[in-house]
Amino acid sequence: MINTNRRPIYMDYNATTPVWPEVLEAMLPFLRRKFGNPSSDHAYGRAARTAVEQARRQVADLLHCAEDEIIFTSGGTEANNLAIRGAMELSTERRHIVTSAVEHPATVQPCAWLESQGIAVTRVPVNRTGHVEEQSVSAALRSDTALVTIMLAQNETGAVMPVARSAALAHACGAIIHTDAAQAAGKIPVHVDKLQVDLLSLAGHKLYAPKGIGALYVRRGTRLAPVLRGAGQERGLRPGTENVPYIVGLGAACALAKKNLMAESRRQRELRDELWALLRVGVPGLKLAGGQGPRLPNTLSVCFPEVYGSAVLAAAPQIAASTGSACHAGDQRAPDVLLAMGVPASVALGAVRLSLGRGTTGPEIVAVAAALQRAYEGLTKDGLAAKYRSGK
């Protein structure tokens, strides 16, 4: 099937999402005539402040929390830094963090920086399906553990982690728990009380809001120190004049996600499963990475046999997807997440991540499967598979 739009079929929604039309419409007035500073005590400021508080309620509604527990940030990375570094700055006696081996860099790097400052960090492994196991978290906890930070859904494999069970363990030893929910929010239900989390991060561009906006849920009574210093906005935890248009966009995106969550989740799961069924028939030996256990409804991570995943995508320019691996100066490296799952490097080098979204259609699924099959057949026909196997 030919892509008549002559644009690549977008299959990288886990990387970012487009700003949805309803979200843009909600934002536009605050980019034009409603430009006031929320801290100003006049009509322009009051209009902006009202819009910010409405957005705060919309984000809180998606997470099933109180609106005063939402802090707006510039994105998921800042939210993670505020949660992790802010919690540890106030922890003078407990100086230990537990995290997982498959976190996003926005968690990995703050933990590494704190480690360089003398904080102990334990990184628990994942099993072969890419999930953190309860016993691993339990074994990692210590009497001086201050914080457990485990993502809710893994961005490369889609594995949904047992955060609620980890939270119960953390609380039992006197620690607090943070989860990076950037990939999960808007795809699966996220209920902070059911998860039992104290801190939770969101990234707007993962759920059809703009890039450059996010939020941090801070459970009442959880103490944080600000990472940035300035005025007293966002309860003093995130100083700086609020980005009103983008905050409004995040609120609109959260309201839309809550409204359509279950139906859209079911639709994407059905399309994902159809894509896997087509690919496994068309590509003998194709392996599913992290296919067992709970996972996001939109994410399909596969490993093509005997070829690089990047080569498959290069041979299928009509598809916009990612490999999940890093390429530096022409060198191929297997995705760290798959290696952490025990996938052999020779298999992991064939990884391709296909992530669906609201814009994905049934005909596109058929076209993507056919294009990837043709790309793979072309590579193996040209003898590149043999070249890959020999390492030459």
pLDDT tops 50 at residue 259:
yes
* SS3 of 7-37: CCEECECCCCCCCCHHHHHHHHHHHCCCCCC
> Which DSSP symbol is given to 375?
H
Q: What's the pLDDT band for 6 if we cut at 50, 70, 90?
A: confident
Which helix (DSSP H) or strand (DSSP E) does residue 184 occupy?
A: none
pLDDT score at 1: 39
Mean per-residue pLDDT of the chain: 93
Domains of the chain from N-terminus onward? 9-17+261-390 (3.90.1150.10), 21-257 (3.40.640.10)
CA distance 259 to 276: 28
Question: Average pLDDT in the 4-22 region?
Answer: 91
Per-residue pLDDT tens digits for 125-178: 999 999 999 999 999 999 999 999 999 999 999 999 999 999 999 999 999 999
Q: Are 19 and 208 in contact (CB under 8 A)?
A: yes
pLDDT score at 290: 81
Q: Could you give the residue numbers annotated as active site?
A: 327
Residue with tokens 């963090």: 97
**Which of 43, 211, 7 shows the shortest CA–CA distance to 35?**
43
**28, two tokens:** 């536009």
pLDDT score at 331: 58
What 3-state DSSP class applies to 87? helix
**391, two tokens:** 């390492």
**What is the number of other CB atoms lying within 10 angstroms of the CB of residue 16?**
16
pLDDT score at 384: 52
Q: How many angstroms separate the Cα of 88 from the Cα of each of 81, 169, 203, 370? A: 10, 19, 22, 50
pLDDT score at 381: 84
The single-letter code of the amino acid at 192 is: V
Residues composing the chain: 392
Per-residue pLDDT tens digits for 85-127: 999 999 999 999 999 999 999 999 999 999 999 999 999 999 9
pLDDT score at 4: 47
Per-residue pLDDT tens digits for 26-79: 999 999 999 999 999 999 999 999 999 999 999 999 999 999 999 999 999 999
Q: What's the pLDDT band for 332 if we cut at 50, 70, 90?
A: confident
Q: What percent of the chain has pLDDT over 70?
A: 94
User: Is the full-model pTM beyond 0.85?
Assistant: yes
pLDDT tops 70 at residue 328:
no
Q: What are phi and psi of 266, to 5 degrees?
A: -65, -40
